[in-house]
Amino acid sequence: MSSAEGLPCASSQTHLVRHFAEQPVELHTDRWSQLWDTDNSDLWDRGKPSPALVDLIEERRDLVSLVGPDGRKKKALVPGCGKGYDVVMLALHGYDVYGLEISSTGVSVARRYAENELANPQAYNWGASRVDCQPGQVEFIQGDFFKRDWEKPGLKFDLIYDYTFLCALHPTMRPQWAARMAELLIPGGQLVCLEFPLYKDPSLPGPPWGLKGVHWNLLAEGGDGIVHPEQNDKEPRPPNAKFTRTLYVKPARSYESGRGTDMLSLYTRTDTQ
């Protein structure tokens, strides 16, 4: 969605929009795999872990603890993990981390990256409040987030991180995205979203699909994630939300591609089922 750390490049976005235009939604996973197989991951790859996520886990340990209450390692999931930068960074902060990718090529690339990076981690994995700890395990899984065949019995997550996964999905998939997030987290588990792109008109085609107001609508209001600005302040939405937003900040550091508009949100799963 942008080339490396640069500003979102209009031609990258046009390329992605064209690649998915008029494709049935059930073929979108194949279309993502094609992009990997034709070496086009630079259309969205940022080249390093998310600085906003690094800062959150290092600086807001009052909200996001690195270990569970019983001292056990916490389990994290990064769906649509791409090359695995955030997977490795979370593991270097002590989490056992699972990276899920639909593309088998993407999984191979991520495994290679993780092997090198864990052996010789770069400074970009830490922020100003560096925490040194025993790294957790890393596992990359090839699978479809919306299917259950990749899940392991009893495996639920303390933390899930979404960056450019929701915006990669067709808007009709949004309610299923929210339902799967609730299903995969333990009660009290945390969903961290680096919300992007917030500058893009939600009525324009994606990916990336504009997400202004979408996370709130899906997670806090239990809506369908299709946000109509004129409806925002009117009827209350049905009380079927499974999440409570516990943090919503403009991160001090994020990718340049967010044009200074990225927001970091933390949603806690507050239903008990």
**Which parts of this chain interact with ligand SAM (CB under 6 A)?**
1, 29, 32, 44-46, 79-82, 100-103, 106, 144-146, 163-165, 168
Q: How far apart are CA 231 and CA 238, in angstroms?
A: 14
Tell me whether residue 89 or residue 221 sits nearer to ligand SAM (CB atom): 89
Q: Which is nearer to ligand SAM, 157 or 163 (CB)?
A: 163
Q: Which is nearer to ligand SAM, 52 or 221 (CB)?
A: 52
Least separation in angstroms between CB 237 and ligand SAM: 26
Give the residue closest to ligand SAM by C-beta: 80
Compare residues 49 and 135 and give the one whose CB is closer to ligand SAM: 49
Full DSSP string of 127-165: -TT--------EEEEE--TT-STT--TT--EEEEEEESS
- Closer residue to ligand SAM in complex, CB, 95/163: 163
Contact between 111 and 192 under an 8 Å Cβ cutoff? The reply is no
Which lies closer to ligand SAM via its Cβ, residue 32 or residue 216?
32
| 96 versus 101: smaller Cβ distance to ligand SAM | 101
- 3-class DSSP string for 222-249: CCCCCCCHHHCCCCCCCCCCCEEEEEEE
Q: C-beta of 45: minimal distance to ligand SAM in Å?
A: 5
Cis peptide upstream of residue 207 (ω within 30 degrees of 0): yes
Least separation in angstroms between residue 106's CB and ligand SAM is 5
Rounded least distance, CB 208 to ligand SAM, Å? 7
DSSP summary character for residue 73? B
Per DSSP bridges, beta strands 263-269 and 243-249 are: antiparallel
Q: Please state the φ and ψ torsions of residue 12, each to the nearest 5 degrees.
A: -65, -45
State the minimum distance, in angstroms, from the CB of residue 223 to ligand SAM: 21
Residue 238, preceding peptide bond in cis (omega within 30° of 0)? no
Number of C-beta neighbours around residue 204 at 10 A: 12
**DSSP 8-state class, residue 171:** G
CB of 233 to ligand SAM, least distance (A): 31
Query: SS3 for 96?
Result: strand
In whole angstroms, the minimum distance from the beta carbon of 147 to ligand SAM comes to 8
Prior bond of 197 cis (ω within 30°) = yes
